[in-house]
Structure 1
Amino acid sequence: MTATAPTSPTDQGAGSPTIRQDADDLSAFGYDQQLHRSLGKFASFAAGFSFVSILTTIFQLFGLGFGFGGPAFFWTWPIVYAGQFLVALCFAEIAARYPLSGAIYQWSRRMGGEVIGWFGGWFMMIAQIVTASAAAIALQVVLPSVWSGFQIIGDDPTLTTTSGAANAVLLGSILIVVVTAINCVGVRWMSLVNNIGVTCELVGVVAVVLALFTHARRGPGVVFDTGVPGEQPGYIWAFIVSGLMAAYVMVGFGSAGELAEETKNPRRVAPRTIRMALTVSAIGGGLMLLGALMAAPTLGEELAVGGLPYVLDSVLGSFWGKVLLCDVAVAIFICTLAIQTACSRLMFSMARDGRLPFSSTLSHVNSRTGTPIAPAILIGVACIAILLVNVGNSAIFATLASVCIILIYLAYLAVTAPMLYRRLQGWPKGTVAVDAEGRKLFGLGRFGIVVNALAVIYGALMVINLAWPRAEVFDPAGEMPILRWAGPICIAVTVLVGIACFPHGKTHPRPVGNPTA
Structure 2
Amino acid sequence: MIGADTVRPSPASPPHSVDSEYLARLGYQQELRRDLGPFASFAAGFSFVSVLTTVFEMFPLGYSFGGPAFFWTWPLVFFGQFCVALCFAELASHLPVAGAIYQWSSRLSVRDVGWIAGWLTLIGYIVSVSAIAIAMQSILPSLWRGFQFIGTNPDVTTLSGAENAVILGTITILASTIISCAGVRISAFVTVAGVYAEIGGLCLLVAALFLNTRRGFEVTLDTSHMAPGMSGHGAFLASMLMAVYVMYGFDSAAELSEETHDPARTAPRAIVRCLLLSFVAGGLVILGALMAAPSLSSGELATIGVPYVINAITSGIVGHLLLATVAISVFSATIAIQTSASRVLFSMARDRVIPGCEQLGRISSRTGTPIAATVFVGVLSAAFLGVNYGDASLFGAITSSAVGVTYFAYLLVTVPLLFRRWQWLRSDDDSSFEFETKGRVRRAFVNLCAVLCGALFLLNTLWPRTAVFDPGGERPYMVAFPTAFLMLALGSGIIVKKFQKTPSEA
- TM category, shorter: over 0.9
Alignment map for 1:49-60 (pairs within 5 Å): 49-60=46-57
Letter in 1 for 2:443: G
CA offset at residue 508 of structure 1?
Answer: 4.8
CA contact (8 A) 1:267 1:441 kept: no
The sequence identity of aligned pairs, in percent, is: 48
Amino acid at match of 1:195: V
The answer (yes or no) to whether the contact 2:355–2:500 under 8 Å persists in 1 is: no
Aligned length: 489
Q: 1:146 aligns with which of 138, 143, 146?
A: 143
| Residue 452 (structure 2) aligns with | 457
8 A contact 1:271–1:442 mirrored in 2: no
Does 2:487 match 1:492? yes
2:245 is equivalent to residue 248 of structure 1: yes
Please report how far the alpha carbon of residue 413 of structure 1 lies from its aligned counterpart in structure 2 after TM superposition.
0.1
> 2:68 touches 2:225 (CA, 8 Å); kept in 1?
no
Point out the more displaced range, 91-100 or 446-455. Answer: 446-455
* Length-normalised TM-score, structure 1: 0.92
- 1:448: how far off? 2.1
Range with bigger deviation, 470-479 or 340-349: 470-479
Counterparts of residues 303-314 of structure 1 (less than 5 Å): 303-314=301-312
Q: Deviations over 1:251-299 (max 9, x none)?
A: 0011011000001111111111101110100000000000000000000
Which residue matches 1:65? 62
Cα deviation, residue 469, structure 1 = 0.9
Equivalents in 1 of 2:18, 2:66: separation in Å?
51
1:287-320 deviation per Cα after TM superposition (whole angstroms, max 9, x unaligned):
0000000000000212111101101111112221
Partner of 1:350: 348
- Classify 1:505/1:161 alpha carbon distance in 2 versus 1 (closer, same or farther; 3 Å): closer
Structure 1, unpaired ranges of 5+: 1-15, 434-439, 511-517
Distance 1:425 1:490, change over 3 A: same
2:367 is equivalent to residue 369 of structure 1: yes
CA contact (8 A) 1:227 1:299 kept: no
After the TM superposition, which residues 70-81 of structure 1 pair with which residues of structure 2 at under 5 Å, given as runs? Answer: 70-81=67-78
Q: Give the 5 Å matches for 1:112-191.
A: 112-191=109-188
Alignment correspondent of 2:407 = 409
How far apart, CA to CA, are the structure 1 residues paired with 2:371 and 2:437?
33
The correspondence for 1:24, drawn from 21, 46, 71, is: 21
Residue-by-residue CA offset, 1:314-346 (whole Å, 9 max, x unaligned): 111222101110100001001111000000000
What is the aligned partner in structure 1 of residue 207 from structure 2?
210
Name the counterpart of 2:430. Answer: 429
Corresponding residue SS for 1:229: coil
Could you report, residue by residue, the CA deviation over 1:161-190 in whole angstroms, capped at 9, with x for unpaired residues?
000000000000000000000110000001
Question: Aligned partners of 1:89 and 1:100: how far apart in 2?
Answer: 17
Q: Secondary structure at the match of 1:177?
A: helix
| 1:477-511 deviations in Å (ceiling 9; x for gaps) | 2222221111111011111111111055834569x
Deviates more, 1:315-324 or 1:254-263: 315-324
Distance 1:452 1:508 in 2: 33
Alpha-carbon distance in 1 for matches of 2:410, 2:173? 26
Alignment root-mean-square deviation, CA: 1.9
Q: For residue 215 of structure 1, report the CA deviation from its aligned partner.
A: 0.4
Equivalent of residue 99 in structure 1, options 80, 92, 96: 96
Q: For structure 1, which segment, 300-309 or 499-508, has the greater mean C-alpha deviation from structure 2 after superposition?
A: 499-508
Distance 2:123 2:230 in 1: 38
Alpha carbons 1:58, 1:285 under 8 Å: kept = yes
**Equivalent-residue separation in structure 2 for 1:299 and 1:278 (angstroms):** 29
User: What is the letter of the counterpart of residue 454 of structure 1?
Assistant: C
Structure 1 counterpart of 2:293: 296
Local SS of the residue matching 1:310: helix
* Match in the other structure for 1:506: 501
Letter in 2 for 1:259: L
Q: Distance in 2 between matches of 1:55 and 1:247?
A: 15
Structure 1 letter corresponding to 2:398: L
Q: What is aligned with 1:394?
A: 392
What is the letter of the counterpart of residue 361 of structure 1?
A: Q
Q: What residue in structure 2 maps to residue 267 of structure 1?
A: 264
Whichever residue aligns with residue 321 of structure 2, its letter is V
